[in-house]
């Protein structure tokens, strides 16, 4: 819904809450779609939220909990009376309910769990780490039996409690509950009633195990255009399914993490404005400090060449351009390689080809930039040797930055380190220090300092 309309709804809601007209307030929020409900709800203050929540239909309250950031939902849950909370959690999807319970204190989670209708579905989901297939999957889905025919399968669907999330692919299991095939709803409708489903289903089903990393699950679903991905144990028993809506959230989350890590900031766990100043500071200061200390390396290089600098202070003027260009050329390279890895275009086996490719790019870029730098330097300081020093340094620095920038993310992945962590600012800080070494040595050689 458009923001303007939502602001309007929020205003109506506040008026209703102020005059204690809880019936109007709850009917306003119940008329909205889940994402809008959650937005409006988040904008209310704690006091208003606590007043409203017990009045809302538990199914709508469950939708709101599912849409909120995990931490926000947990904080809200802590403040609710147990009976209200149980009523709401009963209406949540098992995977979302498990995530919520996992974020609560163990005693509170236990107290809720024993009162839940679907405790047996939710309990096994709680212990899986959030970022694995086990943590993503839901246990509420319909499975068909191998021995059914099409008509029996449709009857099973009719009899099943509606659940939009998981109806698009239907997974078929054998008597031992092992994954045997997959069928889509359309195939079922088109088939003659007495066709055995073994004849319609595809038996070569792409699946993952509970431990599979969420990024790998996302890769598979994207690559093969899957709307649902079955999760099995080591004996191929079907344990749950991951649906596309959870998956797109994972893709967004991974992109957010990459972007923030590349800028040297740890990703946030909740909405920006709801994250406290302290908590954001904590997420940034570590990198800032680390980079500050690595930058002393660059300072140390400058200290080393004090004599040269003192003899020719003009050298200092070009330092920002040189280290800036090196850092930029390196970041361009790492960003390209990191994305190429993320979408599966390159991996470690291509390292040699990638490196050659970047060295080629570095040569062309370095020559071009070097030529331009020569003339720029010359217009600034009419000293041909100084201009030559600057041009040769730019060439060397760009070549070095692209070459190193191509290997760094590949090496990081090889050693199971998140490439974004080492590739962003670490990259440019290293290029700063080494770039200056190149510069001062070329200066020593050409200018004879």
* Residues numbered 144-163 forming contacts with a second copy, rule: CB under 8 A: 154, 157-158, 162
449 binds a second copy (CB under 8 A): no
Q: Output the DSSP codes for 360-389.
A: HHHHHHHHHHHHHHHHHHHHHS--HHHHHH
Give the tokens for residue 407: 């290997």
Residue 321 in contact with a second copy, rule: CB under 8 A: yes
Contact positions with a second copy (CB under 8 A) in 365-394:
365, 368-369, 372-373, 376, 380
- C-beta closer to a second copy: residue 85 or 394: 394
User: Which residues, 6+ apart, have CB-to-CB distance to 343 below 8 Å?
Assistant: none
Residue 208 lies near a second copy (rule: CB under 8 A): no
Q: Which of residues 89-148 bind a second copy (CB under 8 A)?
A: none
CA–CA gap between residue 343 and residue 359 (Å, rounded): 22
Asked if 441 is part of the footprint of a second copy (rule: CB under 8 A), the reply reads no
Three-class SS state of 295: helix
Q: Which of 107, 114, 194, 225 binds a second copy (CB under 8 A)?
A: 225
The binding track of 339-368 with respect to a second copy, each residue x by CB under 8 A or -, is xx-xx-xxx-xx--xx--x--xx--xx--x
DSSP-H helix ranges across 53-91: 58-67, 70-79, 82-91
Contact segment (CB under 8 A) with a second copy among 96-104, 123-131, 207-215, 223-231 equals 223-231
Pairing of β 143-145 and β 228-232: unpaired
With respect to a second copy, which residue has the nearer C-beta, 116 or 287? Answer: 287
Q: Which residue, 157 or 449, has its beta carbon nearer to a second copy? A: 157
Closer to a second copy by Cβ: residue 22 or 449: 449
Asked if 298 and 433 count as a contact pair (C-beta separation under 8 A), the reply is yes
Question: Could you give the CA distance from residue 23 to residue 253 in angstroms, rounded to a whole number?
Answer: 36
* Residues from 25 through 54 that contact a second copy (CB under 8 A): 33-35
Residue placing its CB nearer to a second copy in the complex, 84 or 325: 325
Distances (CA, A) of 131 to 30, 137, 250: 32, 10, 9
Q: Which of residues 278-297 bind a second copy (CB under 8 A)?
A: 278, 280-281, 284-285, 287-289, 291-293, 295-296
**Which is nearer to a second copy, 126 or 301 (by Cβ)?**
301
3-class SS letters over 232-281: ECCCCEEEEEEEHHHHHHHHHHHHHHHHHHHCCCCCCCCCHHHCCHHHHH
Query: Using the rule CB under 8 A, is 260 a contact of a second copy?
Result: yes
In 3D space, the residue among 36, 33, 38 whose CA is nearest the CA of residue 73 turns out to be: 38
15 interacts with a second copy by CB under 8 A? no
CB of 183 to a second copy, least distance (A): 12
């Amino acid at each position: 819904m458009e923001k303007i309309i939502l602001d309007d709804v929020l205003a109506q809601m506040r008026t209703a809450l102020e005059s204690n007209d809880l019936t109007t307030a709850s009917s306003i929020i119940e008329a909205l779609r889940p994402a809008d409900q959650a937005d409006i709800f988040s904008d209310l203050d704690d006091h208003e939220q606590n007043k409203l929540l017990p009045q809302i239909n538990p199914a709508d309250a469950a939708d709101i909990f599912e849409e909120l950031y995990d931490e926000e939902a947990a904080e809200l849950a802590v403040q609710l009376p147990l009976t209200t909370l149980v009523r709401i959690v009963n209406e949540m999807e098992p995977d979302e309910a498990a995530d919520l319970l996992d974020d609560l204190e163990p005693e509170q989670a236990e107290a809720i769990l024993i009162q839940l209708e679907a405790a047996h579905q939710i309990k096994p989901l709680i212990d899986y780490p959030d970022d694995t297939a086990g943590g993503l999957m839901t246990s509420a889905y319909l499975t068909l039996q191998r021995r059914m025919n099409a008509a029996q399968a449709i009857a099973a669907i009719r009899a099943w409690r509606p659940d939009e999330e998981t109806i698009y692919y239907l997974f078929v299991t054998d008597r031992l509950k092992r994954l045997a095939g997959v069928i889509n709803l359309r195939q079922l409708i088109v088939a003659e009633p007495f066709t055995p489903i073994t004849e319609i289903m595809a038996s070569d089903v792409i699946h993952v195990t509970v431990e599979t990393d969420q990024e790998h699950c996302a890769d598979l679903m994207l690559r093969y255009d899957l709307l649902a991905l079955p999760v099995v144990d080591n004996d191929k028993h079907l344990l749950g399914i991951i649906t596309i809506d959870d998956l797109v959230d994972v893709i967004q989350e991974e992109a957010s993490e990459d972007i923030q890590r590349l800028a040297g900031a740890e990703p946030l766990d909740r909405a920006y404005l709801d994250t406290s100043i302290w908590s954001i500071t904590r997420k940034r200061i570590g990198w800032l400090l680390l980079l500050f200390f690595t930058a002393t390396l660059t300072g140390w290089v400058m200290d080393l060449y004090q004599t040269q600098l003192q003899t020719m202070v003009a050298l200092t003027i070009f330092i920002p351009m040189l280290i800036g260009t090196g850092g930029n050329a390196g970041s361009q390279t790492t960003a390209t390689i990191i994305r190429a890895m993320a979408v599966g275009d390159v991996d470690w086996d291509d390292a040699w080809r990638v490196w050659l490719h970047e060295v080629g790019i570095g040569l062309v870029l370095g020559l071009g930039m070097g030529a331009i730098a020569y003339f720029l330097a010359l217009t600034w300081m009419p000293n041909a040797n100084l201009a030559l020093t600057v041009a040769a340094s730019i060439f060397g620095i760009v070549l070095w930055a692209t070459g190193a920038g191509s290997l760094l993310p590949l090496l990081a992945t090889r050693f199971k380190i998140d490439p974004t962590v080492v590739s962003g600012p670490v990259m440019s800080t290293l290029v700063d220090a080494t770039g200056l070494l190149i510069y001062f040595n070329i200066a020593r050689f050409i200018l004879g300092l």
